[in-house]
Amino acid sequence: MPHRSPVKASSHPRVTLPRVLLVCGIGVSTAVAAPPTQDFDLAAYRQLAASERARGIAEGRKALAAGVFADAPRQRMRLLWYMGGAAVGIPDPDALQEVATHLAAMESQGMRGAGSLAGFLRGSLLLGLGDKGTGLIEVLNAANHIPDDDAELRAISAAELCRSYALADQPARGLPHCARNTRLAEATGDPFAMARANYLEASVRSNGGDIPAAIPLWRAARRQFEAAGQHTLAGRAAGSLASDLNASGRHAEALPMARIAVEEGRKAANPISVCMAQGQEADALTGVGRHDEAHAVIDAALACIEGIESPAVLRSLLVIQRRILAALGAEPGELARIDARLSSLDDALPDTEQSQVIESLEQRYLQREQALRIGELEQENRQKELEIEAERQRAAALEQDARAQRLYAIGGAVAVAALASVLLAVGWGLRAQRRLARMLREQAYRDVLTGLPNRRALDERILSLAVDDAVPSDHALLLVDLDRFKSINDRHGHPAGDAVLVAIAQRLRSLGPADGLVARMGGEEFVVLAPHVDASDATALAERLRAGVADDPIALDDGTRLPVTVSIGVAMARASGGDRIRWMREADTALYAAKERGRNRVAMAPAA
């Protein structure tokens, strides 16, 4: 099929990155019944669209024409989402336009969130074609219009933002969204969802240059896909793994992975996957000195990509071709022609106006998500505490009843014992109610696991600084994040992870400023608020906290001494112009700068 310029459309899967072919929709089966009926197997179709994209589009069109899910708009919306993902993966602009039109119509008919899915598709396609500014604006606009009460669509927005920032070459911004996507995937208990989360995080880390962190994530995703019987998706993970192994100089390891990816791409009739994997095969062959074989393979890959509109894939193949030709001693003119072609494929970077819109949309999205997450955490904490208190009340009531029975048996005064029991129970009940009320007030401002103040308490303290500051002075915000915390949970179990969080909380509290506040933001992230300090003192404090964690391994209950490190981003209030959201955002940006520089270090946000 010829591929024309893109219309409005894009994906849940989508186009490719130079070294990363990002995985598409979630599925659990491998076949779909035909012709479609009202018994249409949506889970099977989900997998079909992810692995055999052309067939997925054809089956999706049949289902739509047959009226499948005409009376079930939620399922129809999912069908369109998976079909759109298949269309982006080829890519097929006509199918993408068809899907986006259907979704827009559903939104106009009252199906909230359908328009956001269409926006994700449009933005993803634009990003894949190199229009980073417009693509990111589309995706962020879509994310900002997801209904607050729709957990499924919020999870999709996390995954799409994770992936979109990778496509836009802004991996540091993508990592928080990847972390949220991973948390949501873990909450489902679905191994396939976790495989996909690992794949997406690997993509972002790879694009950010953190290849040592990406490689084990690729391997984990490949194993998880294989275990779920998703061989096509495991093949794509193998191709991405080959890319990073090549980038690490491990060409002998990369070669079999690339060939697995080629084979699986051919089985699934996914030409773009085959083209990408052939490029990695050629790169690996060059790395092991088999230049003539590499030349033949890269020529096949470039022939494969002809007619497919995917500049990122073409660019990556041309880079590999140039490397091979240079190794074969090609003439300078031939290399110059490749360089000229590469220059013509440069992405359209966001202009100043687009960057400002992107920043505004991102802040709006993060502010809303943070508020929603705080509410969720507080609700979870409240429920846990109420359950605990209910058990306490039940135990106390049983004890009270037993005491009354003992009094009756000993004294024989039935009426007196009964009256005493009632009076005691009433008095106890009133005390329990007062205690429960105090508990609920306390927990609204307290993290249950660590006992630290929570985000709500932090916000109120920040707001109080402006009121209490009779003499203007600067304040520091230190965002502290545990390095590779997921590996602690994976290797030692979640109880060990909880113990580490509690120990870190105690350490930060003991080393933090006496007049400041140490709070837990959620997950493995903490905040230290240091009032009335300058940038130099804030940096010194951050270094003291970092060293206080790194220099003293944490003792677990089994006697293991576990080395733990943290990365810290520091931002000053004055530099943020008094904007609380901007202040937090700058600390977050500095934190991810510390992560990108190798972890276990401190980074300061630039002064205004």
CB 258 within 8 A of CB 270: no
DSSP 49: H
Range list of H helices, 248-290: 251-267, 271-287
Q: What is the pLDDT of residues 13-62, one digit of tens each?
A: 322 333 333 333 433 333 334 444 457 888 889 888 887 888 999 999 99
Q: What is d(CA 25, CA 195) in angstroms, rounded to the nearest whole number?
A: 11
Rounded mean pLDDT of the chain? 80
Cβ partners under 8 Å of residue 246, min gap 6: 254, 280, 283, 284, 287
Helix H or strand E segment including 192: helix 191-207
CA 112 remoteness from chain centre: 23
SS3 (DSSP) at 162:
helix
pLDDT band at residue 377 using 50, 70 and 90 as cut-offs = low
Residue with tokens 């350490």: 507
Residue 269 pLDDT class (50, 70, 90 cuts): confident
Please write the tens of the pLDDT for every residue from 279-301: 999 999 999 999 999 999 999 99
**What residues does 476 pair with on adjacent strands?**
530, 572
pLDDT of residue 372: 57
Task: Give the other-Cβ count within 10 Å of 419's Cβ.
Answer: 12
Confidence of residue 347 (pLDDT cuts 50, 70, 90): low
Are 93 and 10 in contact by the 8 Å Cβ rule? The answer is no
Question: How confident is residue 189, by pLDDT bands cut at 50, 70 and 90?
Answer: confident
Does this model's pTM top 0.75? My answer is no
* Radius of gyration from C-alpha coordinates of the chain: 28
Alpha-carbon distance 506 to 413, whole Å? 54
Task: Please choose, from the candidates 113, 46, 114, 124, the residue with its C-alpha nearest in 3D space to the C-alpha of residue 86.
Answer: 46
pLDDT in tens, 426-465: 455 555 555 554 554 555 678 878 889 988 888 888 877 7
245 phi and psi angles, rounded to 5 deg = -65, -40
Are the C-beta atoms of 23 and 238 separated by less than 8 Å?
no
CATH number for the domain formed by residue range(s) 455-604: 3.30.70.270
Q: Output the furthest CA–CA distance in the chain (Å, rounded).
A: 111
Q: What gap in Å lies between CA 363 and CA 369, rounded to an integer? A: 10
Residues 385 and 165 sit within 8 Å (Cβ to Cβ): no
For domain 42-346, give the CATH number: 1.25.40.10
Taking only the tens place, the pLDDT of each residue in 516-560 is 999 998 888 999 999 999 999 999 999 999 999 999 999 888 888
- pLDDT tens, 460-515? 888 777 644 444 678 999 999 999 888 888 888 888 888 999 999 999 999 999 88
| Assigned token pair, 363 | 């802040």
- Render the burial of 230-264: b for 16+ CB within 10 Å, e for the rest: bbbbbbbbbbbbbbbbbbeebbeebbebbbbbbeb
Domain ranges of the chain: 42-346, 353-443, 455-604
d(CA 404, CA 402): 5
Please check the confidence at residue 355 and state whether its pLDDT lies above 60. yes
Identify whether the C-beta of residue 100 lies closer than 8 Å to the C-beta of residue 84: yes
Q: What one-letter code names the amino acid at 78?
A: R
Strand, helix or coil for residue 570: strand
CA distance 442 to 82: 45
Give the Cβ contact number of residue 205 at 10 Å: 26
Coil/strand/helix, residue 373 = helix
Cα 96 to Cα 4: distance, rounded to the nearest angstrom: 12
Handedness of CA 451, 456, 457, 459 (dihedral sign): positive
